[in-house]
Amino acid sequence: MPRPLEESPYSFTIPALVKEVPAARDRVVDRVRGLGLDLDEELIGDLRLLTGELVANSVTHTHAPCVVCVRWTGERLRVEVTDGDSTLPVPTRALPMDEHGRGLFLVAAMATEWGSQLCAAGKKTWFELAVPAFTVATETLRSSLGDVPEQAVINGEGDAHPALVGPVSITGAHARVVHQAA
C-alpha cells in the first residue's frame, strides 16, 4: 500500500489541477531563495520551466495531487515531484503539429541530469541544475534541523530528510581538513 505524500520545510503539495502549475513554479523559486541560493534570471527561468513540465505531467497523467521537494546538494539544485502513480514516465516522439509530448525532451535537454524512480508513494521524477559556485551565498544557507523531529531524520526509504541533504550554515564553525590518498 502506498504511503501518503507528506510535506516538509522544503516540500509542498500541489492539488491535481493544471491551473496550479504556475503557483508550483513560484513556490519552488521561493524555496530556492529560502535556501540562500542567488540564481541569475536565466537559471530561474530554467528552474521555472522544468518544474512546470514535471508538475504538469504529474497532475495531468495521474489526476491526483503531487508533492514537490526542493533540495540543495552542495553543487546542484534538485527538484523532485512525487506522485502516487507507479508508472515511470517515458519520453514520447511528438509530431511537428502536436501540442503535447515534448516536456520530457525539454527536461532532458535543459537539466544537468534528470530521472525517475519508484518510491513508496508511487514514483519520484526529478531534475538537477548545476549552480555556479559564485551564486551560493554560504552565509545565508539555512538549516531547518531544529524543525525536524528526531524520528523523522531518516524516512522509511532510507533517505535522509530533505533538511539534511543540503549544507548548513558554517558561520562560527571550526575548519577541519581531512586528507585522502589520491
47: pLDDT strictly greater than 80:
yes
Cα radius of gyration rounded to whole Å, the chain: 17
Encode pLDDT of 146-159 as tens digits: 343 333 333 334 44
Average pLDDT over residues 8-14: 80
* CB burial readout 36-56, b (16+ within 10 A) else e: bbebeeebbebbbebbbbbbb
Q: State yes or no: pLDDT of 145 exceeds 90.
A: no
Q: What is the pTM of this model?
A: 0.69
d(CA 69, CA 10): 6
56 phi/psi in degrees, rounded to 5: -60, -45
Residue 66, pLDDT above cutoff 90: yes
Cα gap 77→74, rounded to integer Å: 8
Residue 10 and residue 27: Cα distance in Å, rounded?
10
> Which residue's entry shows cell 527536461?
107
Q: What Å distances lie between residue 170 and 19, 39, 175, CA to CA?
A: 40, 21, 9
Quickly count: other Cβ atoms within 10 Å of residue 16's Cβ.
14
d(CA 102, CA 106): 6
Phi first, then psi: give them for residue 59, nearest 5 degrees.
Answer: -70, -30
Q: Is the model's pLDDT at 135 over the cut of 80?
A: no
pLDDT for 74: 87
Copy the grid coordinates of residue 57. 505531467
User: Of 169 and 117, which is predicted with more confidence?
Assistant: 117
